Amino acid sequence: MRTLRHYEPARRADRPETLAPQENRRTGTRWPTPRQLEASEVGRLLGMLLEAYDGRRPAAQIRALVAPEVYSGLSGPRLARPRHRTQTIHTCTPRPGVIEACARVEADGRSFALAARFARTERGWRCERFALLKPGGPGQSSRRAA
């Protein structure tokens, strides 16, 4: 072990190193590579998506966070819906740059399943898939995707 010089910053093993900036091929601008999402951040993003699904948050506020297919499912006229709240959230990383999340969601005393997929893009994380799975009656589809 050696003594640090007065101008040398300390290196910490518990702090991840910052990633080198990437360059946008179209515009030539540079920005840092997005870091890995933590479970609490995934939960916050799922909460924002559920608020847009319920109609309590304008879908335009989350437009930059979601793929166009997800945005089209969340935007448009909405009927009044009960408030959906996440109870448990589980995440996995099937490959680098992708996070898949599933959650148990409650609304009006009933439990539902939520599935989402986030992908790392040049500008940050984006929700590529979002589906709130609700049980259907006889002869009805059990899946309602937004």
The radius of gyration of the chain from alpha carbons, rounded to an integer in Å, stands at: 20
Phi, psi of 44 (to 5 degrees): -65, -40
Residue 98 lies in a domain: yes
* 109-136 pLDDT per residue, tens: 888 999 999 998 888 889 999 998 877 6
Q: What is the DSSP string of 54-94?
A: HTSS-GGGGGGGB-HHHHHHHSS-----PPPEEEEEEEEEE
* 52-91 pLDDT per residue, tens: 888 888 888 989 899 999 998 888 776 777 888 888 899 9
Single pTM value for the model: 0.67
How far apart (Å, rounded) are the C-alpha atoms in residues 142 and 146? 13
Residue 54 lies in a domain: yes
What percentage of the chain has pLDDT greater than the value 70? 66
CATH number at residue 98: 3.10.450
Domain range holding 45?
37-136
CB-CB contact of 70 with 145 (8 Å): no
| Number of domains, the chain | 1
